[in-house]
Amino acid sequence: MPLHAEGTGTLGEYAAEHGAVAHSRSKSRDDPLSVLDEEDRIFANEDLLRIDHVPDQNKIVGRNNQIETVARRLKPTITGGTGKGTLLLGKSGSGKTLVTRYVSREVVGRGLENDVRIGRAVIDCAQRRSEVQTVIHLAKSLNEPEKTGITIPHSGIATGAYYDRLWSVIDELYDAIIVVLDEIDRLAPPDDVENVPPEEADDSKLLMQLSRAGEENDVDASITVIGISNDLKYGDRLDTRVESSFSPDEIVFPAYDANQLGDILERRRDAYRENVLTDDVIPLCSAFSAQEHGDARRAIDLFRLAGEVARDNDAAQVTESHVRVANDDAEVTRIQDLIRGCPTQAKIAIAALATMDEFSERSAFKATEMYRVYRAFAEAIDANVLGKKRITDQLREYETLKIINMTRTSDGYREGTYLQLSLLDDSSLLLQTIGLDERCANIPIDGRMRQHIVSIVGS
């Protein structure tokens, strides 16, 4: 798509002309507080569409195998024994957290029937990000201070002392413990993985302590660990010593297809009032999310957002067009949130790639081409010019965030292999968002710059 605005001289002007600022959906009311009295004509129970809502088993779609396997591995805890270590692997929104919460909740209930006290702690490691933080959280969530008399301070004692308190809490209160470490890979950020020996990474240290608590610290209660990760190769990363004591089985959660996503939404239809959903809504939400690697979280979010768009428009029904608006909004918000948080250097590099995409017929570019445009931009706004390797490293992060695609490619002869970059998101939207940045707003995209870019990438 060519950059239309002929007169546009800078990225800031481009942003102002195209106005990507997320638009407010609601109409203005004479009395803004009247919303408090209005009856909701769209939703009957919006809570069913909350992400942490755990539906009944008959509402969980296509995960019988995974439920059964997790149940088998946790079963020994029902009689106070030790379950088997397990890693649940799969992309985001594939039901890992749901299955774990569901099965472990049932297991705790069965334990109670047998007079076995099973403690369950579900820790979101993405929020903690260090071994000690995780141990503190674990101890706090299992502790009942009025029964144990043990306090867990926020800080101020050594990691070893936190472990000791954790073991005491466990032995005082429970016969068996199920520890769920959700997003466990986030305990060891990629920088660490490269620079720290595996046994010193926070995730390994924690797993080691938990899996050897019985042997080394005389903890009587059994401890069973379930790790969850989006990284399908997470298991390979574990230190061999951890591997041998934790010895997890891996359970893979495949992506959902559009039919399964449709089923998942169908089973939450009760969130809406009767006759509010038109026939296209569920199939369209499922189709959009099936394109996003079959992400059930995205499908449910979209399903809810479409209803909110309809409600904000005072519509009596949710229609296909509400889904489309919701889908665009969700994408714009995602990109704006991501871009706003980027360092200036990364913004300049992404702007380079996005203008190349806009100015030419091509959509994939060599890293060297991107770097030349980046350099021209950085010089034009008097920013530091970083080396090519630093810039490509910075961009790598946006690969994980699905803004950019990076692949090693070969053109068969002459140049050997090279790094190829392309955008996964709408280039115009990226430029509009980057144009809102105070410094990047000055990036020139006038006729001269355009010629320069064409001379690098061809037209």
Ligand X SMILES: Nc1ncnc2c1ncn2[C@@H]1O[C@H](COP(=O)(O)OP(=O)(O)OP(=O)(O)O)[C@@H](O)[C@H]1O
Selected binder of ligand X within 63, 322, 347, 450 (CB under 6 A): 63
Q: Judged by CB under 6 A, which stretch of 1-9, 85-93, 312-320, 396-404 contacts ligand X? A: 85-93
| Residues of span 139-158 touching Mg ion by CB under 5 A | none
Selected binder of ligand X within 72, 140, 269, 297 (CB under 6 A): 297
Q: Which is nearer to Mg ion, 124 or 280 (CB)?
A: 124
Burial (CB < 10 A; 0-12, 13-18, 19+), residue 300, is buried
The torsion angle over the Cα atoms of residues 95, 96, 101 and 106, rounded to 10 degrees, is: 90
Q: Which is nearer to ligand X, 94 or 360 (CB)?
A: 94
CB 351 within 8 A of CB 11: yes
Least Å distance, CB 371 to Mg ion, is 37
Selected binder of ligand X within 96, 120, 311, 450 (CB under 6 A): 96
The torsion angle over the Cα atoms of residues 254, 255, 257 and 261, rounded to 10 degrees, is: 110
Mask 90-109, x = binds Mg ion (CB under 5 A)?
-------x------------
Q: Which is nearer to ligand X, 208 or 296 (CB)?
A: 296
Least Å distance, CB 102 to ligand X, is 9
Number of residues engaging ligand X in binding (CB under 6 A): 20
Give the number of other CB atoms < 10 A from CB of residue 112.
12
* Max Cα-Cα span within the chain: 78
The torsion angle over the Cα atoms of residues 310, 313, 314 and 315, rounded to 10 degrees, is: -50
CB 220 within 8 A of CB 171: yes
Tokens of 87: 């890693």
Could you say which of ligand X, Mg ion, none residue 152 binds, taking C-beta under 5 to 8 angstroms by partner kind?
Answer: none
Distances (CA, A) of 238 to 97, 114, 131, 207, 373: 21, 35, 15, 10, 40
Q: Judged by CB under 6 A, which stretch of 54-62, 311-319, 395-403, 439-447 contacts ligand X? A: 54-62
Least Å distance, CB 178 to Mg ion, is 16
Q: Is 62 in the site for ligand X (CB under 6 A)?
A: yes
Selected binder of ligand X within 296, 342, 351, 367 (CB under 6 A): 296
Q: Which is nearer to ligand X, 167 or 303 (CB)?
A: 303
Least Å distance, CB 140 to Mg ion, is 21
- DSSP code per residue over 136-192: HHHHHHH--HHHH-----SSSS-HHHHHHHHHHHHHHH-SEEEEEEETGGGGS-HHH
Return the closest-CA partner of residue 245 out of 203, 218, 215, 219. Answer: 215
Q: Which is nearer to ligand X, 61 or 356 (CB)?
A: 61
Q: Is 90 in the site for ligand X (CB under 6 A)?
A: yes
Q: What angle do CA 354, 2, 365 make, to 5 degrees?
A: 40
Selected binder of ligand X within 5, 21, 35, 51 (CB under 6 A): 51
Least Å distance, CB 91 to ligand X, is 7
Q: Judged by CB under 6 A, which stretch of 95-103, 112-120, 365-373, 416-424 contacts ligand X? A: 95-103
Q: Which is nearer to ligand X, 90 or 111 (CB)?
A: 90
Q: Is 12 in the site for ligand X (CB under 6 A)?
A: no
Q: What are phi and psi of 254, to 5 degrees?
A: -70, 165
Alpha helices in 381-424 (DSSP H): 388-400
Query: Where do contacts with Mg ion occur on this chain (CB under 5 A)?
Result: 97
Query: Where do contacts with ligand X occur on this chain (CB under 6 A)?
Result: 51, 55, 59-63, 90, 92-98, 230, 264, 296-297, 300
